[in-house]
Amino acid sequence: MAMVNERFAQLIARRLSGEATPDELQELECLLKEHPQSHNFFEIFSEYWQLNGELESDAIQEDVHFQQIIAIAEKETPEPVEVTHQKLSKPARVVSLKNLLVAAAIIGVIVLSYVFIPRSQALDKNDVAQSEILTAKPGARIYMLLPDGSKVWLNSESRLEYKKKFNDSIREVTLEGEGFFEVVKHKQHPFIVHTSDIDIKVLGTAFNVKSYPKESCIETTLLRGLIEVTNKKDPSSTKVLLYPHDKLVFNKETGNPNRILPTRTQNVAMSKPFEKTTLSKNIADSALAETSWLFNKLVFDGQTLRQSAAKLERWYNVNIHFRDDKVGNMPIRYPLSNETIEEALNALQYIEPFNYRINGNEIDIWRKRS
């Protein structure tokens, strides 16, 4: 004779799980009275059921875990943005897709067709392949999806060129200026970014390249994945591999393999014109000076106003003139986001006292007499 029949078992389960109706509770009471032996089982099983009430967790450990989750969740990932045209003295506003939702999709189409006014032209007269050119004007930033699904963000005064037949198998672009790439992985077909002096071969990854003609260095910063950098002028030299949060600075002037630069990692000793450093891994992408522009922020990370002038000029589409040598030499650690150029200069005056005058797109800066 079974100790507990099916109905009995059903009622016990419902009772303990809180599913039983008042009628069923009563029914169970009766059954328990009639079957004292089952009553034993019920008592013991009830107690077993409660045992799990002490699912105790280590609150501190759990809190640490929670902090990690928040930290990761709040690490912003660049959202697709769209082009905005720059008016003087307001930094380009990059509108996040989140806020736009549907509108963004529509604008996106318009924007693409706008940016993309097919300025295609035969690059080289011998080269039949046509090129697409994408340009971010001074003070504007552009987001663009390439035909293979890779994403590109172009900083102001930058230009990206690629062959019209760019597809899954031919993935080469030429960059002048600054761009952030999020490249779709494709084992057989590496993605190659050409700059004036170096080539960057990509194997599915996210990274930033800064290669402005007027600047003496080309900077490559890797966030995720793996990239390989070669010196164009000396293709036989050792290739440099970058790992996440590595930053590689290539000096165009010393870009001669005979010159040796002071280096910080052993990798660099072999790759002379390069200087490789590793950035803090705990910093959110938006707080890295190298990628802050993606998040509509301009981060000064210890450079002087003089060193950052080019950045500011591109950012605000202005020309900055230092009227004497004594100004602009203090290191600045300061993030700018939505300030106008006046607001930015006013803020910077707290760090280093100076006078300025804005005249159209021209800005004069000179030392404050005390």
Partner 1 sequence: MNFKSTNETLLLSLKEKIADGDQNSFRQLFHLYAKKLTQFAFAIVKSNDAAREIVDEVFIKIWRNKSSITTIQNLTIYLYTAIKNTSLNYLSARARENMVESFDFFSVQLSDNNSPEKTLITSEILKKINTAIDELPPRCKMVFKLVREDGLSYKEVGAILKISPKTVDAQMMIAVKQISEKVKTDFDYFPNRSIKKN
Contacting positions for partner 1 (CB under 8 A)? 2-6, 9-10, 12-14, 16-19, 36-41, 43-45, 47-49, 51-52, 54-55, 57, 59, 62-63, 65-66, 68-70, 72-74
The residue to which tokens 């998040």 are assigned: 295
Q: How far is the CB of 32 from partner 1 (least distance, A)?
A: 10
Which tokens hold the place of 239? 């290739």
Within 10 Å of residue 2's Cβ, how many Cβ atoms?
8
Residue 98 or 369: which CB sits closer to partner 1? 98
Cα 300-277-279 angle, rounded to 5 deg: 55
Q: How far is the CB of 55 from partner 1 (least distance, A)?
A: 6
Residue 40 or 319: which CB sits closer to partner 1? 40
Residue 97 or 261: which CB sits closer to partner 1? 97
- How far, in Å, CA of 168 to CA of 354, rounded? 52
Residue 47 or 253: which CB sits closer to partner 1? 47
Residue 81 or 240: which CB sits closer to partner 1? 81
Q: How far is the CB of 104 from partner 1 (least distance, A)?
A: 16
Residue 210's H or E segment, with its range, is strand 206-211
Residue 39 or 165: which CB sits closer to partner 1? 39
Q: How far is the CB of 24 from partner 1 (least distance, A)?
A: 11
Question: Residue 330's closest CA among 307, 310, 312, 347?
Answer: 307
Q: How far is the CB of 370 from partner 1 (least distance, A)?
A: 45
Task: Say what the alpha-carbon torsion angle 258, 260, 261, 265 is, to the nearest 10 degrees.
Answer: 120
Q: How far is the CB of 236 from partner 1 (least distance, A)?
A: 41
Strand order in the sheet with 354-359: 319-322, 362-367, 354-359
Residue 365's H or E segment, with its range, is strand 362-367
Give the distance, in angstroms, between the CA of residue 220 and the centroid of all CA atoms in the same chain: 13
